[in-house]
Structure 1
Amino acid sequence: MRMRPTLSWTPPEGLPPGTTDLEPVAEVLGAGGVLVLSGAGLSTESGIPAYRGEGGSLGRHTPMTYQDFVSGPAARRRYWARSHLGRRTFRRARPNAGHRAVAAFGRHGLLSGVITQNVDGLHQAAGSAGVVELHGSLERVVCLSCDAVVSRHALALRLEAANPGFAPVAAALNPDGDADLTDEQVADFRVVPCEACGGVLKPDVVFFGENVPPQRVAHCRGLVAGAASLLVLGSSLTVMSGLRFVREAARAGKPVLIVNRDPTRGDGLAVTRVAVPLGAALTAVAGRLAVPVGDAR
């Protein structure tokens, strides 16, 4: 069964309120064995918008679903035109203090792993090792016919050659690297096929309405089972792909802590939700634990 898109969520009455107390986060990190689950909110300080919350892109933009993408050439032309332009801005994003703090915690042996719902590669750019990209990466492209995988850079060069001078002005950038363009702006964009078989190319990311590969889910479940606690950073947990790991950790009696400005679907299962900007929060925790975060790379 395909995962149905969940584009919005309204917090029910009675959720525990957020706090500014970072002590529980410092305590679990100090004890080690922490599994980090990060979402789009961790990258907003790098200039990449989140889907939800104040200023979230869902207020003006509906992400393309897998079903839309495979529906025909017009949808794919719209996607690749917008994504090709958006990537130019997306790739200029740099890790922020939150990413650097997570990398520092990892270097100091406090983490058992990092799972990210983000497709921006900023954890790795900050120096985190062994990051599990739950929803894939924008830097890879896969053929839907022959399963060939190529780099996004290689595809970008082909798209540049097929669309010389393509440089429309976008209204905004979205969390998936998609730039807001009108139908008129993308009408003449040329999409290129797989060089190996002529098939349809798709970014190696999990679209709304698409399943996370089962082997990746199994790997993440193993990480949850082996962790002492789960620390959620910047995720509303609206989609089941991340929420299921919170539920599994809670069922196993492992502490779940959330750092997110807005309420999340996991708040009722968490020890605490800290409603403090992530960069400042994680930098402060690192200071309490005498973990040097370092400068931007």
Structure 2
Amino acid sequence: MIAFDLETAIRRLRDLVEEARTVVPFTGAGISTECGIPDFRSPGGIWTKMRPIEFGDFVASQEARDESWRRRFAMEEQFGGAKPGRGHRALAALYKTGKIPGIITQNIDNLHQTSGFLPGDVVELHGNTTYATCLDCAKRYELAWIKERFAASGGQSPDCLSCGGYIKTATVSFGQAMPEAAMRRAQALAESCDVFMAIGSSLVVWPAAGFPLTAKRAGARLVIINREATEFDDIADLVIHDDIGAVLSPFIAH
């Protein structure tokens, strides 16, 4: 790994992207912080202020389900109007050129889809918080309906109209199984790209953090763009510790 000043690093990144046939981005919370969505693990992040509700507790306790939905609606009031940032728009521009066959994300905010990615080309490892599903029959529910029922019942989470199962945001909670189809798709993308770009991820949450290593072992150039150092910096071909929006904004189509 060689350290470059920002201008040189961006030029090097552009060269890598232009030389590549396929580029696969892998995004974490850092790409969304400029959109007003705080990350979970950094100092001041969400998990430093409240203990996450684990999947087993959600299933076992009505109180936990109610608290989970109370938190979700409180979060909506704070971050519901978030729009894609410079990083999202830059990756969407590359996607539209045909360089990016799919994007892997740890984020649950739906901002890649909003920025221009087709939903089928966004591999969501940790799910999506903008809608909900029944844990038993997988029926989809929109948040507005749940919020109305939640308020009308005095803060009790509703159950599925079809089967009576528990309704949960379509996210992957601690203790919940990772989505098998998304993991397989992410593995295939990581193994078949020329450049793998890990953006805004601390690369500490496994098994998701293993995809950069998979790509590197398969012969891809590994790029890491993150404010803080990661455990994979030493094996990366290019590391940029700077503001993600500033680094990627030159790729936004004008």
TM-score by length of 1: 0.77
Partner of 2:124: 133
- Ranges in structure 2 where 5+ consecutive residues have no aligned partner: none
Deviation, 1:112, is: 2.6
Which of 182, 193, 218 is the aligned partner of 1:216? 182
Q: Distance in 1 between matches of 2:2 and 2:66?
A: 45
% of aligned pairs identical?
33
Q: Distance in 1 between matches of 2:50 and 2:138?
A: 29
Secondary structure in 2 matching 1:240: coil
Which of 118, 133, 138 is the aligned partner of 1:147? 138
Deviation, 1:262, is: 0.5
Secondary structure in 1 matching 2:107: coil
Which of 100, 103, 109 is the aligned partner of 1:114? 103
Q: Distance in 1 between matches of 2:199 and 2:231?
A: 13
Contact 1:246 1:269 in 2 (8 A): no
Q: 1:273 to 1:76 in 2, by over 3 A?
A: same
Whose relative contact order is higher, 1 or 2, with alpha carbons under 8 Å and at least 6 apart? 1
Name the amino acid aligned to 1:56.
Answer: G
Contact 1:16 1:268 in 2 (8 A): no
Q: 1:56 to 1:17 in 2, by over 3 A?
A: farther
Contact 1:99 1:123 in 2 (8 A): yes
Which of 13, 17, 29 is the aligned partner of 1:40? 29
Partner of 2:240: 274
Q: 1:212 to 1:195 in 2, by over 3 A?
A: same
Q: 1:146 to 1:109 in 2, by over 3 A?
A: closer
Q: 1:67 to 1:44 in 2, by over 3 A?
A: same
Aligned residues: 249
Q: 1:150 to 1:27 in 2, by over 3 A?
A: same
Secondary structure in 2 matching 1:141: strand
Q: Distance in 2 between matches of 1:267 and 1:250?
A: 12
Name the amino acid aligned to 2:210.
Answer: R
Q: 1:270 to 1:61 in 2, by over 3 A?
A: farther
Q: 1:40 to 1:112 in 2, by over 3 A?
A: same
Deviation, 1:47, is: 0.3
Name the amino acid aligned to 1:191.
Answer: S
- Ranges in structure 1 where 5+ consecutive residues have no aligned partner: 1-14, 164-188
Q: Distance in 1 between matches of 2:178 and 2:77?
A: 26
Compute the RMSD of aligned alpha carbons. Answer: 2.1
